[in-house]
Amino acid sequence: PVPVIIDCDTGIDDALALLFAVRHPGIDLRAVTCVAGNTDVDQVVRNTLTVLDQAGAPELPVARGAERPLIEPARPAAHVHGRDGMGDIGLSAPTDRMPVDVDAVTLLRREILGSPRPVTLVPIAPLTNIALLLRTYPEVTRNIERIVFMGGAVEIGNATPVAEFNVWHDPEAAAILLSAGVPITMYGLDVFRRVVVPWADVQRLSASAEPGARLAGRLLAHRDPAATGDPTPTGSLGDAGAVCAVADPAGLTTSLLPVEVSLTPGPTRGQTVVDRRPRPGESEIHHGTREKPLVDVALDVGVERYVKLY
Ligand code: BDR
Ligand code: CA
C-alpha cells in the first residue's frame, strides 16, 4: 500500500475521504493533520477524531494545525458544511481518540522523514499547513513521492466566480505549494463536482448495519443544493475523489500544465490560472519572465469507475 498523509478541514466530504482512506487496502494512512477551513480548527480536530472512530481506523496520529490562513482571517463555510462542519446531522459521538501533543507541521515532518517509503501527501483543505511545512522544513520534499491536492479550478470557481474554496481561503499558501518542486496533481473543481453517487446507492449505504458505510451514506445524502446555494450536487464524493485518484490514478486524465495562483486583491484573487494554450508560456519566455510551475491538472475523471471504487 501507498503511504499517505491526509491534511483536511473535516468537513462533510473530508469525512468521506477519511472513511475511504481508512478502508482501502491500497492505502496506508499514516497520519492526519487538521487545518482551519470549512470550520474552525478545533472543530476540525473533533470531527476528524469522530470520523476515524466510526471508520474503525487503527490508532494513528492526528494533529491540530493552523487556525487561520497565512495572511487573511479564517472564513469558515458554515453555509455549506453546517455549524459543526459536518452538516449538523447530529454527529457528536464521544471518542477516546486524542490529537497528538505536537502541532501539524511537526507531525508532518516526523512522519514524512520517518517513512521508509516516500509519502504521498493529500491536502484536501486550505494549504496553510503544507505551506508552513515547506517553508519550515524544506528538506521534507526529499521523501515526498507526490502531492495530490483537492483545490483550484480550470473553469468555474465556487467561493468566487473563478476561485475554488481551498485555494481562495489561503492563496499565498497555495502558491507556495505549487512551487514545492515535487510532482503535484491538482484535483480541481472540474472533476470534483462530477463524481456523484447515484441516489439508490446513497440510500443503500445509509441503511447499512456497518457504522462507517452508514455514515458515508448520511453524509452523501446531506447536501441540498437548493437549500445551500452550493452547486456541488447531493451524492458528490467531493474530496474523497482525490483519495480515489491515489488508489486508482488511471481513473484520472491529467495534463502537465503551467499553473499560477492569482494573489492580487480583487475579483481574481485565489484563482488558479491554468495555461491550456497549445504552446504554453511562449510569450512569457519571449518577454523574459520566469517559468511557472508545471502541475498535473485533472481534466477528466472516470465517474462510474470512482463511484464503484468508493
Ligand atoms: C473544497 O472546499 C471544501 O468545502 C470541501 O471540503 C473541499 O475541500 C471544495 O471547494
Ligand atoms: Ca475539504
SS3 string, 77-108, reads CHHHHCCCCCCCCCCCCCCCCCCCCCCHHHHH
Decide whether any atom of ligand 1 lies within 6 Å of the 165 Cβ. yes
Name the packing angle between helices 240-247 and 12-23 (round to 10°): 30
Residue 81: band (very low, low, confident or very high) from pLDDT cuts 50, 70, 90 = confident
Q: Taking the complete model, does pTM exceed 0.90, yes or no?
A: yes
Query: For a pocket test of ligand 1, which of 10, 12, 43, 166 has the largest count of ligand atoms closer than 8 A to its C-beta?
Result: 166
Distance from C-alpha of 59 to C-alpha of 29, rounded to nearest angstrom: 10
Distance from C-alpha of 158 to C-alpha of 166, rounded to nearest angstrom: 10
Query: For a pocket test of ligand 1, which of 6, 7, 8, 9 has the largest count of ligand atoms closer than 8 A to its C-beta?
Result: 9
Burial class (CB in 10 A: 0-12, 13-18, 19+), 34: buried
Cα-Cα-Cα-Cα torsion 39, 43, 47, 109, nearest 10 degrees, comes to 90
Decide whether any atom of ligand 1 lies within 6 Å of the 11 Cβ. yes
Mean pLDDT of the chain: 92
- Report whether pLDDT(298) > 80: yes
- Report whether pLDDT(169) > 90: yes
Ligand 1 center to 170 CA (angstroms): 13
Residue 96: band (very low, low, confident or very high) from pLDDT cuts 50, 70, 90 = confident
Question: φ and ψ at 302, to 5 degrees?
Answer: -80, 95
- Nearest atom of ligand 1 to the alpha carbon of 238: 7
Q: What is the mean pLDDT of residues 34-58?
A: 95
Reading the block at residue 175, the C-alpha cell is 502558491
Decide whether any atom of ligand 1 lies within 6 Å of the 272 Cβ. no
Helix (H, G, I), strand (E, B) or coil at 145: strand
Which segment of 115-119, 188-192, 230-234 scores lowest on mean pLDDT? 230-234
* pLDDT over 90 percentage in the chain: 83
Predicted interface score ipTM higher than 0.90: yes
Distance from C-alpha of 180 to C-alpha of 279, rounded to nearest angstrom: 24
Higher pLDDT, 77 or 32: 32
Q: Strands, E, within the chain: which ranges?
A: 2-8, 27-34, 62-64, 119-123, 144-150, 184-187, 252-261, 272-274, 294-301
